[in-house]
Amino acid sequence: MKTEILANTQTQQAASWLGQGELVAFPTETVYGLGADATNPTACRAVYQAKGRPSDNPLIVHVDGPQMVWQYAQKDERAEKLMTAYWPGPLTIILKLKPQTLSTTVTGGLTTCAFRMPDNAATLTTITQLGRPIVGPSANTSGKPSPTTAHHVYHDLNGKIKAIIDDGPTRVGLESTVIDLTVKVPTILRPGALTLEQLQRILGTVQTDHHPVQAGEIPKAPGMKYKHYAPRAQVIIVDHPRDFPQAIAWLQQKKVHFAVMAQQEVLDNLDLAAASATFSLGDSLQSASHLLFAGLRQFDLVPEIQYILAQGQTDSGLGSAYMNRLSKSAGNQHFH
């Protein structure tokens, strides 16, 4: 199969192929998703196969608005308030399903499902033209850094999917915040660009779930159980810029090829003669979050790189989302 690249205006073609059971990657404001008709179990199974994704890792369902959600999920006042405040946007809401509405292929066998309305005109138009929701895990090989450009998707999935809607680089660069409303106290299962503080403004008390998902347990949201966002090289988190010279010296002694990924101000103050490559995360936490996956993917194209020294951030607000992804890509390895 030849994977075709569609312009962001070719939504009718994308909707037509999705309606025929084909897989079409689509842009959002966070990362690119791998789309299939959420009401077609065969197409949804093909998503798992294309990605090499474990079948007990549930899929997020993308909709064109709240009305589409309530065809499948049980009404929830808290969800309606969140949708009014933050949709379209980087927020995924887990809700209880109405019986026998979506297949277990989508839900991983759970009676709950995660819903999101992405902030991207081409994708919302495609869903409306299809007339049904689409599943949309990140459009990459499972476990690898998420794709933030159509080129990233093509690199991983060329020949495995029908098409990619190219709408340029994504704006946010980290996946959506996931909040579980099927429990008594609303719980963040995955941090994202929409912060705990923003959710508390609407809901009051919100907690964060850090529990490790056990071997036999089905996760309610992606990114909770399996290794994620990992390039070939071993990522090592450098928690403070002052520790970079020591970390660089340590890798020099090991006589290995390594790369450094940090904000520009940090790079400007380092002796980088020994590094095989560098990648600038820009000048702010926002730019670092936006560029994180792009940097990890760029180093994947340089096979000799064995280690990546990556700058850590304060674990609060948007920094929580950044550190969540970076910690997973590093297998939680920090330089000490």
Name the burial class of residue 94, with classes exposed (0-12), middle (13-18) and buried (19+) by CB atoms within 10 angstroms of its CB.
Answer: buried
**140, 84 in Cβ contact below 8 A?**
no
pLDDT at 266: 97
Residue 218 has pLDDT above 80, yes or no: no
pLDDT tens by residue, 236-287: 999 999 999 999 999 999 999 999 999 999 999 999 999 999 999 999 999 9
For 136, the token pair is 């949309």
Cβ neighbors of 80 (< 8 A, separation 6 or more) are 66
Tens-place pLDDT, residues 295-318: 999 999 899 999 999 999 999 999
49-63, 149-163, 192-206: least confidently modelled range: 49-63
Mean pLDDT over 160-185 rounds to 97
Fold of 234-329: Rossmann fold (3.40.50)
Average pLDDT, integer, range 103-115:
94
pLDDT exceeds 60 at position 215: no
Helix (H) or strand (E) segment spanning residue 310: strand 307-311
Q: What is the mean pLDDT of the chain?
A: 94
- Superfamily (CATH H level) for 4-208: DHBP synthase (3.90.870.10)
What one-character DSSP code corresponds to residue 74?
A: -
Report CA-CA distances (Å) from 176 to 89, 115, 298. Answer: 8, 11, 22
- HSE at residue 11, side-chain half, CA atoms within 13 A, is 16
Indicate whether this model's pTM tops 0.85.
yes
Instruction: Sketch the domain layout of the chain as residue ranges.
Output: 4-208, 234-329
Indicate if 234-329 has the same CATH topology as 4-208.
no
The pLDDT, as a whole number, for residue 296 is 95
Percent of the chain predicted with pLDDT > 70: 94
Q: Is the pLDDT of residue 225 over 60?
A: no
Residue 258 β-bridge partners = 307
Task: Please check the confidence at residue 22 and state whether its pLDDT lies above 70.
Answer: yes
Q: What residue numbers does the annotated binding site cover?
A: 30, 53, 57, 62, 112, 116, 138, 146, 176, 190, 229
The pLDDT score that the predictor gives to residue 44 is 96
- Closest alpha carbon to 78 in 205, 251, 193: 205
Q: Which pLDDT score, from 0 to 100, does residue 143 have?
A: 86
Annotated binding site for L-threonine: 30, 62, 116, 176
Q: Which residues are annotated as a binding site for ATP?
A: 53, 57, 112, 138, 146, 190, 229
Q: How many Å apart are CA 255 and CA 103, to the nearest integer?
A: 52
Q: Within a 13 Å sphere around the CA of 56, how many CA atoms are in the beta-carbon half?
A: 10
288-305 burial string, b = 16+ CB within 10 Å, else e?
bbbbbbbbbbbbbeeeeb
* Strand bridging mode 307-311 / 4-7: unpaired
Ramachandran area for residue 122 (φ above 0: left; ψ -120 to 50: alpha; else beta): alpha
Q: What is the pLDDT of residues 1-18, one digit of tens each?
A: 899 999 999 999 999 999
Whether 220 shows a pLDDT value over 80: the answer reads: no
The DSSP-derived string for 154-172 is: HHHHTTTSSEEEE--S-SS
| pLDDT band at 210; cut points 50, 70, 90 | low
Name 75's Cβ contacts closer than 8 Å, sequence gap at least 6: none
